[in-house]
Amino acid sequence: MAAPDLVNISGLMDDAKCFAFMRQHRWPEGVCCPGCGSPAVIRDGCDDTQPHRQRYRCKTCAGRFDDLTGTVLAGHHQPLRVWVLCLYFMGLNLSNRQIAGELGLVVSDVQAMTEQLRRGLVAKVPAVELTGEVEIDEVYVVAGHKGQPAAVAKRAGSGAGASWQARRAAARWRRTSRPSSG
């Protein structure tokens, strides 16, 4: 079968609309500071290399942030339009391999992207908190037992094994359900 000139869909995407979509999705009630939650923010120019990525300054805490700050998309090497397209293809039930073919990416990159997108387009990067019990994938860290390594080892050992999937799921739930103020 003769291959026609393939459409490079990514090249047809409108970056401005992708960032507008992102803003609407992340802040349906209006832009809020990810640091303190204040809606008193003012625009503060745009990103140096991504002209549609709006920067903001918080009038309450003086913090600076932009459209992607604090999300899993911040600092990623793929342009936002590639993420949006990836999300669209996921909605069509394309496999990671098919998405990789459409976007001209390697499958392992697409797999990492779809895993992140299943947590949400604007899912927050898990914040490190040194209180309570903090789980990082299968690693189980119990805070508050300084000087009592035996107690920590016993605690971690008792919960290891069969229930790690449940604890991992619970950790994922905690990450995705953490209130914005936290």
Contact residues for Zn ion (CB under 5 A)? 33, 35-36, 38, 58, 60-61, 63
Q: By C-beta, is 40 or 136 nearer to Zn ion? A: 40
Q: How far is the CB of 64 from Zn ion (least distance, A)?
A: 9
Q: By C-beta, is 31 or 58 nearer to Zn ion? A: 58
Q: How far is the CB of 65 from Zn ion (least distance, A)?
A: 8
Q: By C-beta, is 60 or 163 nearer to Zn ion? A: 60
Q: How far is the CB of 59 from Zn ion (least distance, A)?
A: 8
Q: By C-beta, is 27 or 88 nearer to Zn ion? A: 27
Q: How far is the CB of 4 from Zn ion (least distance, A)?
A: 51
Single-letter amino acid, residue 62: A
Q: By C-beta, is 62 or 160 nearer to Zn ion? A: 62
Q: How far is the CB of 182 from Zn ion (least distance, A)?
A: 14
**Residue that the structure tokens 């189980």 belong to:** 140
